[in-house]
Structure 1
């Protein structure tokens, strides 16, 4: 059974490990895993140590299996990481729904996120859930010492109200 809950400070070490494993699976062919793994671990540790209150955790049968965050508490989902051996079991979908509900509750009408363009499984996952590619960019990554293609995705969560007078608009 999948449950989604707010993260606790004691979750941080387990969430770091989930993040590192999911990151490693996502960057195959984009980054040198052995060179960048320690940097990724440090980045996850720093992020989660200071922002665990902005993180939601998905558990599968009581075991931490995935996490997501809205780092700036705005309309952007900054992180969504599912432990690779546990993917395709509904964890990402449950977390995405929780993040979208938070975004709507905060007064935003759409959700946005980004990933690297070669992360075909992530792009496909979000498209399956109604997200559309909104932009594509190529930026130099100093950490990776190479150009990295990023893709931005967006999904309208609240239907636009017609503008006009009376029922149905003009």
Structure 2
């Protein structure tokens, strides 16, 4: 049975591997992921080393399978990654529900996140979870070393369909 817990400093390498694999899967067709893999790995490792206290992870089948973060402990989900082989089994839904519950507990009325605009799977995931598109923009992505179109998503919490 899957369970969610706070990350520990010793989880950083495993979390980096999950984030990197999920990122690589998400950018397929968007960029040369192999060329950017080292840069992305360094970005994930640095983020997780600096912000592991903001990370919740899900364990299933005896191993960590995904994680989510609120980098600044505000109402923005900065990351939500599930290893590709474990996607489609409800682990992302568990992580999303838990992080939304914590955002509600911290008395925020909305939750936001963003992804690259061509990450159809992530956009569908959040839309299914009650998120609506709130903005589109282009910004520099250090993982891809190029400008990327991003989509911002927002959900009002506590409404029907919300947390």
Establish whether TM, by shorter chain, passes 0.5: yes
SS at match of 2:135: strand
Q: Does the 8 Å CA contact 2:109/2:158 hold for their aligned counterparts?
A: yes
Q: 2:129 matched to 1:129?
A: yes
Structure 2 distance, partners of 1:148, 1:112, is: 19
Q: Does the 8 Å CA contact 2:58/2:64 hold for their aligned counterparts?
A: yes
Q: Relative to 1, partners in 2 of residues 1:2 and 1:111: Cα closer, same or farther, differing over 3 Å? A: same
**Cα deviation digits, residues 53-99 of structure 1 (max 9, x gap):** 11000011331000000001100000000000000111100000011
- CA offset at residue 145 of structure 1? 5.2
Residue 71 of structure 1 corresponds to: 71
TM-score (ref. length: structure 1) = 0.89
TM-score (ref. length: structure 2) = 0.93
Structure 1 distance, partners of 2:145, 2:38, is: 16
- Which structure has the greater CA radius of gyration? 1
- CA offset at residue 32 of structure 1? 1.2
Q: 2:104 matched to 1:104?
A: yes
Structure 1, unaligned stretches of length 5 or more? 160-170
Residues 1-170 of structure 1 mapped to structure 2, 5 A cutoff: 1-141=1-141, 144=144, 146-159=146-159
- CA offset at residue 34 of structure 1? 1.6
CA RMSD between the two structures: 1.4
**Cα deviation digits, residues 14-39 of structure 1 (max 9, x gap):** 10100110010011122211211000
Quick check: 115-124 or 31-40, which moved more?
A: 31-40
Runs of 4+ in 1 over 6 A off after TM superposition: none
> How many residues are treated as equivalent by the alignment?
159
Q: Does the 8 Å CA contact 2:71/2:77 hold for their aligned counterparts?
A: yes
Structure 2, unaligned stretches of length 5 or more? none
